[in-house]
Structure 1
């Protein structure tokens, strides 16, 4: 079964309430391909490797979390940007990208999906009442040492995380997928025992140690694989389309 690209985009925009969120890039349809859609390939980042995989899979739409046209980047279509766009256009593949709207969605979002896999009960926003801080906070069914929780993270995400304060006893957790290390200060104010995100900055270590909080950097890519999968599955089910998630590993 095929559906119109315009219908797919309209439903995804509606579902994620994309127009409501101010972001660093355009959300929604970034590159327009063929007008009918039968097959969606999803992935984290619209890299050349993922584009090549989508071409091989004969995708009509490439659905990603990290697309193109970021604020502040060089606007010229040269180098790798030219090669990526040329490949999409040559094969008539649409690029559909959702950044912050996919981080914050209450069911399909990266942060909620990550919590489900790690066994965290979602309780509130990291900073209640402040939508500009996109992290969440919640609790574990029973307390663990931070080192024990880090072992769970490694098992679920398939990569060893960076861990600060492994002996800290943990019951309340704050988290923000991707590059949310700057939110550790909000996590400290929220009173959680551990803050988890994708990346770390040099000062993150000192914030964790000096405030007696455990910290885990589990990988930007690794923590943001699940929202786009959930979104792809929703669209496939809603429109009776084919969907395939393709993971192009990234150690960052």
Structure 2
């Protein structure tokens, strides 16, 4: 094993992240924070969107002590038995003494490191505020962009996210006022339409989304669940490396969804 000259206690890193992301504010579908315990000393953090086996294999090869992800394990209503794919993933972490740390909704919502605000930065949108409706939890952002045609905005997604979006046109106007929530938030289109914006952006699409967009008069863009959620976890890893005595590497495991 390579010599490690720098390290930080796992507890110090976790305390910092908990204070920063305030998971107690959210009603989430998973466990936020430490999900699988590994080494109590951390020198290398690998970040990625999802704790897939491919990411874990990269972490083992790099001799990481912590894997930091947006999509971890132990989701609500999933089978509790640790068998098959789940067993192989957890066995990899335990065999190599790697901590798994996941931040879901708290990372989407964060005002400077969150997926939503960083998507706006990447796309050049001006954030105006957050629409905190029934589904909100501080997740449904809204703002303004330089007015353009619906097709031009689709092209901007492909250029800036390297992902071709699915567009469902609900009107024939150009786009200026916009709302968004990254990932699998397509059903927030209802709150976005009721707020009177021209377009709503999320990561995924459902069959019902087509009819909601057309009947509520709002244009919808499915810009990619993975593509819209790369920036937050990478930014968190960079911050940890800057604030603590650790190395960080972001690995982007390709995902077309």
State TM-score, norm by structure 2.
Answer: 0.94
**Where in structure 2 are the equivalents of 1:1-252 lying within 5 Å?**
1-127=6-132, 131-132=136-137, 134-140=139-145, 142-165=146-169, 167-252=172-257
Following the alignment from structure 1 to structure 2, what is the Cα–Cα distance between the partners of residues 108 and 159? 21
Aligned mates of 2:186, 2:113 — CA distance in 1: 22
Using the alignment, how far apart are the partners of 1:130 and 1:43 within structure 2?
26
Q: CA RMSD in A?
A: 1.5
Q: Contact 1:127 / 1:186 at 8 angstroms: preserved in 2?
A: no
The DSSP-based 3-state class of the residue aligned with 1:174 is: strand
Deviation at 1:130, TM superposition (A): 7.4
- Residues 113-143 of structure 1, C-alpha deviation per residue, up to 9 Å, x if partnerless? 1110011111111336975362100001x20
Given that residues 168 and 213 in structure 1 are in contact (C-alpha distance below 8 angstroms), is that contact kept between their aligned partners in structure 2? no
Find the aligned partners of 2:137 and 2:33 in 1 and give their Cα distance: 20
Aligned counterparts of 2:138 and 2:205: Cα–Cα separation in 1: 17
CA distance in 2, matches of 1:65, 1:211: 31
The verdict on how the C-alpha distance between 1:139 and 1:223 changes in structure 2, with shifts beyond 3 A counting, is same
The farther-off stretch of 163-172 and 199-208 is 163-172
Q: Structure 1 residues 205, 129: CA separation in 2 closer, same or farther (over 3 Å shift)?
A: closer
Give aligned pairs, total. Answer: 251
Deviations 1:47-84 (A, max 9, x none): 11110111111111000000111111100000000000
SS of 1:178's equivalent? coil
User: d(CA) in 2 for partners of 1:64 and 1:97?
Assistant: 5
TM superposition shift of 1:98: 0.6
Distance 1:81 1:127 in 2: 35
Unaligned runs of 5+ in 1: none
* CA spacing shift, 1:12–1:167, aligned 2, 3 Å: same
Does the CA-based 8 Å contact 1:127-1:190 persist in structure 2? no
What TM-score, normalized to structure 1?
0.96
Equivalent position SS for 2:97: coil
Residue 220 of structure 1 aligns to a residue in which SS?
coil
